[in-house]
Amino acid sequence: MKTSIIENGIKTNKYESINGLFGEYGGMYVPPVLEGKLLNLAAFFEQTKSQPDFEEEYIHYLKTFVGRPSPLYYARNLSEIAGSKIYLKREDLNHTGSHKINNCIGQILLAKRMGATEIVAETGAGQHGVATATAAALFGMKCKIFMGATDAARQKMNVSRIEMLGAELVLTNEGRATLKDAVDAALGYYIENPDVYYLLGSQVGPHPYPTMVGYFQRVIGKEAKQQFLEAEGRLPDHLFACVGGGSNSIGLFADFLYDEAVAIHGAEGGGEGAVFGKTAATLSMGKPGVFQGTFSYALSDENGDVYPTYSIAAGLDYPGISPQHALLKDTGRADYHLVTDAEAIEAYKLLSKSEGIIPAIESSHAVALALQMLKGKENQISIINLSGRGDKDVERKLL
């Protein structure tokens, strides 16, 4: 992964974390009971990530357990419909069905080396819950997954998978009983039980989680760049990914951040449109503030209170965002767009019927945005990150 460039003879990491900050965003806004624990985790991560035996173990499990590298697939039929050449990065083919397992394997290897015996996590669409429960089963660790009752009702298949894997599922009815509330519940348990390891699933929360999650998801873009160069002999013109908390998208974007000719686009869960309370488009409609342990954009009012959010995609139904994406927005390195439920459902149907690939409704937002932006760009080539498969959404009768 290219982590720095030379500007006027000075080495810079202008899009990345420096001491837990992405520009002005990030940081650690937590109760004192957690501050020391998180500082220890940050130090342990920095010491461990570069150790050859840790990297070898991580890569071993990515290859033999997760099934990496995931393919970069030329979507010929979708390309004909769009009038522009499109590749899909097939994270839906990973074990457990999404990109979430990349981060779970990395973090649980850290937890094991730290001597942890219990894992706690939050989940929205259920994919992170499944991946965490899977990793915990693999390493024989006790596991507790917090999930909003609303999300559990619309992601029943993943609820069953979590329980089948031996994890304890804890439902919360607080707020709208979605991802924000699951994070609140998991953080509350973590504060009360500081000896557990909190395996946060997205690129949000206090330092060091945004840095760690970004590090473990970077494999997506690293593979995609190599695969694309082998297929086309050049870099892509555009990258597309859905953005909820920000982990799958930063995973694809990370290795291209310093390739300024590559345009980067994020698709947010727009819900019913640009109306507070009916959308989850944080970067499109939010503003900077402190939320759930970090300083980033949030869908909040003038008092800093977050608005209720809504998206048909449980994995995007969240009022906060990665501090790294906040930096990318402010610097103009990436642009972010509101994609409505209706647009995502249309893309969900189109990809299923044109390519024989049923995408997660979260990923369908990225497909929808690509179809909108690529019209008339027949000489350009793009990558869409297909972050997850749609088995979990089939019973919802989105068709």
Q: Which residues does the annotation mark as catalytic?
A: 100, 122, 387
Would you state the structure tokens that stand for residue 264, as one six-digit string?
């980067």
Distance CA 74, CA 66 (A): 22
Give me the amino acid identity at 342: A
Closest residue by Cα to residue 162 from 136, 181, 187:
136
Phi-psi region of 95 (alpha: psi -120 to 50; beta: other; left: phi over 0): beta
In degrees to the nearest 10, what's the CA dihedral of 198, 201, 205, 206?
50
Closest residue by Cα to residue 145 from 279, 154, 160, 27:
160
Distance CA 284, CA 267 (A): 10
For residue 338, give the H/E element and its range. strand 334-340
Q: Answer whether 309's CB lies under 8 Å from 299's CB.
A: yes
Distance CA 86, CA 93 (A): 18
Would you state the structure tokens that stand for residue 178, as one six-digit string?
């979605």
Would you state the structure tokens that stand for residue 288, as one six-digit string?
């900077």
CA dist list (Å): 16 to 8, 84, 210, 243, 371: 19, 31, 10, 18, 29
Give me the amino acid identity at 274: A
Residue 30: Cβ-neighbour burial (10 angstroms; 0-12, 13-18, 19+): buried
Q: Answer whether 320's CB lies under 8 Å from 291's CB.
A: yes
CA dist list (Å): 3 to 144, 159, 163, 241, 259: 35, 38, 39, 21, 11
Residue 378: Cβ-neighbour burial (10 angstroms; 0-12, 13-18, 19+): exposed
- Which 8-state DSSP code applies to residue 66? I
Distance CA 73, CA 244 (A): 24
